[in-house]
Chains A and B, each alone.
Chain A
Amino acid sequence: MHLPQNFRSRSIIGGLAVLMLLPLVVVITSPFHASAPEWDHVMRDILPSHLLETLRLVGLTVLLALLFAIPSAWMVSTLDFPGRRLFRWALVLPLALPTYICAITFGSLLGPTGAFSRAISANTGIHIDIMTWPGLSLVLALALFPYIYLPARVAFSAGMSPHLDAARMLGGGAWKRFFRVAMPLARPAIAGGALLVAMETLNDYGAVKYYGVRTLTAGIFRSWGGLYDVGSALRLSGVLLLLVISLITLERSVRRRAGQESSHRPVTGAPLYGWKSAAAVIWCIVLFAVAFLLPVASIALDAFRTMKDLRFLQFLPALGNTLLIGLLAALATILIAVAFAFAERSSTGTNRLTNWASIGYVVPGAVIAIGVMAFAGWLTHVTGIVIIGSIVLMVYAFSVRFLALASQPLRAGLKQQPKAMDEAAHLLGSSPWRTFRQVNLPLLRPAIIAAALLVLMEVVKELPLTLILRPFNFDTLSTKVFELARIEQWPDAGVPALLIVLCGLFPVLVLDRLLERRTR
């Protein structure tokens, strides 16, 4: 199709995509330019064990997260039982908890010397230890399952009613309706969520380190910090990227095999009675209590106990910085994601680039930091402008890291807008850019807000990029938590940890509302 502004928009979009990809190119091309003196050792003694432990950790975590998410989403969407409306949003809340805080909290409760473990072993003689790899899977699944729960809930609620009604008229019982109709229809949504869970697990460093689980990300840091071999660390990042690319391919194939949503009439819940109703209530209560109430109560208790010693006000600047950097990063990421969405919608021919640009989401933050700093150092060398240690560079790094998170809701939102609408605008004399701005974008507003909130939430929780790229004297809540956790004064981290959770709750709740409105 002929587009008058094609060249200009193509170069802007292309430039942005290259900017997003540059730090990653440094990583991917490292085998060709960085020497890796310890690579033989890494291949023999690190890669096999770490790859194996990565695969089993990711596998079990995704499995458990599916187990927590799907029945819950099914129950709150298609059944009716006491408290259903409450659980519907409450089960989203664990998303506000960073995985490293969850891991330490569960360790302090159910670890070998945890408060609960001690009580249990004193009474029964049984030693409980959650600090094993299956235990870590459980903790990660509890923290991450809402990534599957949310899209599954939307899928079960919207567009499914005619199919479910039809299945019912054809004599399908509840189980049959679930396995033969609902699951296949919801598969793309669930696959997308499972991919996010897998990526978050791959990217985690704080929790795996504390639990002594050897994942590829841990191997990257071992090569970097222990073997003094950045080259090998970058090569391992390349292996991690390959793993992720295969996961993405898998997700795409699952997505392609499924059909489209059709109607938007909400599903009316089928009432449950007797023991079935009680079982549903108990399932939801237990899941919510373990995934959210328990860790938050423990953090709140720590915060309360240490509050008298710590000057509460000392965390105010960190709170301000957290919100500032979160908002700026959300804004920048959204602008780029919107530009890419426009490029894809109006087929500027840059799709391959923009698709790849999202891969930053799976690269460990510290590795992105190397790439970003290498780029910034080169820029300084050429132009004399020092941007390392500036907010600009932090915002840039966050955009690289979280672009995928912002792009996903925008893509999904655009997919729901019929292409004929764009064509109608075209025939009415509207340029592609005007069409996008005045037709697609206004309709995309909920998706844009959702995307911004996702980024904001992740930046609030993010640690390694913030830690290394920050300006002088720039503390955020997560660096505060890290400083205190690092010197093994975990209870003192209660106040900032609680503040992180509170900062995260707001976007999570708004996100939930937005998705609900789309469903209704």
Chain B
Amino acid sequence: MKPQFSTFAAMIKKPLLFLPLFALACSAPNKDNMEDVVNVYTHRHYETDKALFALFEKESGIKVNVVMADDDELLSRLDAEGANSPADVIITADAGRLGLAEQRGFLKPIHDSTLEANVPAHLRDPEGNWFGFTMRARVVAYDKNKVAPEELMTYADLCSPRFKGQILVRPSEHVYNQSLVAAMIAHFGIDSATSWCKGIVANMARDPKGSDTDQLLAIGEGLGSVAIVNSYYIGKLMKSDDPARQKAKNAIAVAFPLMQNDREGEVLTPGIGTHVNISGGGVAAHAKHEANAIALLRFLSSDASQAAFADGNMEYPVKPGIPAAAVLQGFGRLIPDTLDLSELGRHNAEAVKALDAAGWR
């Protein structure tokens, strides 16, 4: 008698045999080292980037392979992969993480005249480990019916009793809140930065929650009159035609506060502008396609790419002479803080401690 369950056992056994084959087939893209490819680990997940990669592929004939994940996880992956890492280019959205990648030896210094010409010196690593491609300013959006622009000359102005119960901001878990405080620590020291954080917490309209866009929408609903947000979210909000966002669009104006630890200070320290962070990248230490990697970095610093970052993604281009998006220009001129960007990574942990000490959720 043939047992009826033999088919069942076979059902389990057969796929087991196919499993490794299947997996090999699926992971095939990793194997094409000989081909003209460039392997990118990136934290950026924008349609603009995808379009630019596609354009690069068309122009250069080099295929762009992408893994997109969060900065810290990408760094962990690089760590585990070591010398076997397939990555050629590493792109993050935070100067602190670029500094960290450099410290841990994930990047390789590059000296390339095109890149050095396109990216201003303070927006790249002096050794050539990484290059910034776009700037994002941490600005203050305000309700133009309730607040006058003169009231928001400096970040310290936000701590004024004038804004009690008025400040909208996302949780301190977000890297751009951390890097803003890191910049303050670099300029004025930990004590000053901590008391600034306390001042913000004391003036909050509500517990921090939601995204930057949610803070902007909250202004529209009158839940607060000032919001600390990233510049490009304002640009995106302004471009949106969603009727639910109309109220916020009508209400908002933008201040570009300057770095200043003392609200009463009469003279602003020259050169301390609005806090910016960058997104940028470099060549991976164990890149197998170094020439292709440099080609891609050059391409990202070119006029065409810089204009696409500005218009498509509402970021500030780094290349001199390329204008920011018209919407953002309409709100005023950005004078970026020229702080050495590697300082941001150096003070990030302290920044988190200051935020925790102030009770900024």
Q: Which of A111, A210, A391, A472 contacts B39, CB < 8 Å?
A: A472
- Asked if A388 and B81 sit within 8 Å, CB to CB, the answer is yes
**Is the beta-carbon distance between A392 and B65 smaller than 8 angstroms?**
no
Assess the A483–B214 pair: CB atoms within 8 A.
no
> With A41-B353, A380-B81 known to touch, is A390 a contact of B211 (CB < 8 Å)?
no
Whether B80 pairs with A487 at a CB distance below 8 angstroms is no
Q: Flag if B23 contacts A229 (CB, 8 Å).
A: no
A407-446 contacts to B (CB < 8 Å)? 437-438, 441-442, 445
The smallest C-beta distance from A399 to any residue of chain B, in angstroms, reads 12
Contacts of A441 in B (CB 8 A): 5, 8-9
Q: Which residue of B lies closest to A117 (CB)?
A: B221
Q: Which residues of B contact A227 (CB under 8 A)?
A: 348-349, 352-353
Instruction: Indicate if A198 sits at the interface (CB-CB under 8 A).
Output: no
What CA separation (Å) do A380 and B361 show in the bound complex?
40
Q: Mask for A11-40, Cβ within 8 A of B = 1, else 0?
A: 000000000000000000000000000100
Indicate whether A471 sits within 8 Å of B29 (C-beta atoms), given known contacts A131-B210, A483-B45, A487-B45. Answer: yes
Say which residue of B69, B70, B207, B218 sits within 8 Å of A113 (CB atoms): B218
- Check if A266 is an interface residue, CB within 8 A of chain B: no
Residues of B within 8 A of A84 (CB): none
Q: Is the CB of A366 within 8 A of B86?
A: no
B65: chain A residues within 8 A (beta carbon)? 472-473
B27 touching A471 by the CB < 8 A rule?
Answer: yes
Q: Scoring A residues 44 to 80 as 1 if CB is less than 8 Å from chain B, else 0, what string do you get?
A: 0110000000000000000000000000000000000
CA distance A41 to B357 in the complex (A): 9
A162 within 8 A of B: no
Which of A115, A127, A438 touches B3 (beta carbons < 8 Å)?
Answer: A438
Q: Is the CB of A389 within 8 A of B73?
A: no
Contact A386 B173 (CB under 8 A): no
Q: How close is B7's CB to chain A, nearest CB, in angstroms?
A: 10
Shortest Cβ distance from residue B176 to the other chain A in the assembled complex, whole angstroms: 12
Q: Knowing A38-B349, A335-B12, A472-B39, say if A388 contacts B80 (CB, 8 Å).
A: yes
Say whether B281 faces chain A, with CB atoms less than 8 Å apart.
no
Q: Are A112 and B73 in contact (CB under 8 A)?
A: no
Contact between A390 and B214, CB atoms less than 8 A apart: no
B144 within 8 A of A: no
With a cutoff of 8 Å between Cβ atoms, the chain B residues found around residue A195 in the complex are none
Which chain A positions have C-beta within 8 A of B22?
Answer: 328, 391
Check B337 for interface membership: any CB of A closer than 8 A: no
Interface residue? A226 (CB, 8 A):
yes
In the bound complex, CA of A472 to CA of B68 (Å): 8
Chain A 73-114 against B: per-residue CB contact (8 Å), 1 yes, 0 no? 000000000000000000000000000000000010001110
The answer to whether B66 and A472 have CB atoms under 8 Å apart is yes
Q: Does B120 contact A (CB under 8 A)?
A: no
Question: With an 8 A cutoff between CB atoms, is A224 at the interface?
Answer: yes
A479 to B45, CA, bound (A): 10
Q: Would you list which residues of chain A between 269 and 317 have a CB under 8 Å from chain B?
A: none
Contact status A442-B8, CB under 8 Å:
yes
Chain B, range 60-76, C-beta contacts under 8 Å to A: 65-74, 76
Distance in angstroms between the alpha carbons of A482 and B43 in the assembled complex: 12
A side interface size, CB within 8 A: 75
CB of A141 within 8 Å of the partner chain: no
> Which candidate, B13-21, B128-136, B294-302, B319-327, is the interface stretch facing chain A?
B13-21
Stretch at the interface among A149-157, A251-259, A345-353, A367-375: A367-375
* Pairwise interchain contact A113-B214, C-beta atoms closer than 8 A: yes
Give the residues from 318 to 356 in chain A that come closer than 8 angstroms, CB to CB, to chain B.
Answer: 324, 328, 331-332, 335, 338
Is A369 a contact partner of B29 (Cβ separation < 8 A)?
no
A226 to B72 CA separation, bound complex (whole angstroms): 9
Whether A111 contacts B30 in the complex (CB less than 8 A), given A331-B19, A479-B68, comes out as no
Those of B207-231 within 8 Å (CB) of chain A: 207-214, 217-218, 220-221, 223
The proximity string for B residues 164-185 relative to A, scoring 1 for CB distances below 8 Å and 0 otherwise, is 0000001101010010000000
Residues of chain B with a CB closer than 8 A to A489's CB: 236
CB pair B100 A228 closer than 8 Å: yes
Which of A38, A210, A230, A370 interacts with B209 by CB under 8 Å?
A210
Interface of B is mostly: helix
Q: How many residues of B contact A (CB 8 A)?
A: 70
Q: Is the CB of A226 within 8 A of B223?
A: no
Q: Does B112 contact A (CB under 8 A)?
A: no
Would you call B111 an interface residue if the criterion is a C-beta within 8 Å of the partner chain's C-beta atoms? Answer: no
A362 / chain B contacts, CB cutoff of 8 Å: none
Contact between chains at A221 and B173 (CB < 8 Å): yes
Given contacts A222-B173, A331-B15, A473-B29, contact A45 B66 (CB under 8 A): no
- The answer to whether A218 and B8 have CB atoms under 8 Å apart is no
CA distance A479 to B69 in the complex (A): 9
A487 to B86, CA, bound (A): 27
Which listed residue (B66, B175, B212) contacts A225, Cβ 8 A?
A: B175
Q: Known: A111-B214, A221-B173, A390-B27. Contact between A366 and B73, CB under 8 A? A: yes
Q: How far is the CA of A190 from the CA of B208 in the complex (A)?
A: 35
Decide: A111 near B349, CB < 8 A? Known: A389-B27, A438-B5: no
Nearest to B209 among chain A residues (CB) is A212
B-chain residues with CB within 8 Å of residue A132 when the two chains form the complex:
207, 209
A392 with B23: in contact, given A214-B361, A226-B352 (CB under 8 Å)? Answer: yes
Closest B residue, CB atoms, query A115 = B244
Q: Is A395 an interface residue (CB 8 A)?
A: yes
Structural contact, B26 and A391, CB atoms closer than 8 A = yes
Residues of chain A lying within 8 A (CB to CB) of residue B221: 112-113, 118, 121
CB distance from B90 to the nearest CB of A (A): 14
For the complex, what is the distance from the CA of A473 to the CA of B170, rounded to whole Å?
A: 31
Expressed in whole angstroms, the Cα–Cα distance for A467 and B351 within the complex equals 27
Interface pair B45/A486, CB less than 8 Å apart: yes
Contact between A374 and B80, CB atoms less than 8 A apart: yes
Interface residues of B in 192-210 (CB under 8 A from A): 206-210
A168 contacts partner chain B, Cβ-Cβ < 8 Å: no
Check: B82 CB closer than 8 A to any chain A CB: yes
Contacts of A131 in B (CB 8 A): 209-210
* B16 with A335: CB separation less than 8 A: yes
- Kindly provide the distance from the CB of A489 to the nearest chain B CB, expressed in whole angstroms: 8
Q: Is A470 an interface residue (CB 8 A)?
A: yes
**CB 8 Å contact bits of B109-149 with A (1 = contact, 0 = none):** 00000000000000000000000000000000000000000
Q: Is A381 an interface residue (CB 8 A)?
A: yes
**Quick one: which of B29, B100, B171, B212 contacts A209, CB cutoff 8 A?**
B171
Cβ of B356 under 8 Å from chain A: yes
A-B contact sample (10 more), CB < 8 A, given A324-B26, A388-B84: A41-B353, A111-B210, A222-B173, A228-B100, A328-B22, A366-B73, A389-B27, A442-B8, A468-B76, A487-B45
27 contacts across the A-B interface (CB closer than 8 A): A38-B353, A41-B353, A41-B356, A46-B356, A112-B209, A121-B221, A131-B210, A210-B210, A212-B171, A218-B173, A226-B351, A228-B349, A229-B349, A335-B16, A369-B73, A369-B76, A373-B77, A392-B27, A442-B8, A468-B69, A468-B77, A470-B67, A470-B69, A471-B30, A483-B68, A487-B236, A488-B236
Q: Which 4 residue pairs spanning A and B have beta carbons closest together?
A: A377-B80, A472-B65, A212-B209, A373-B80
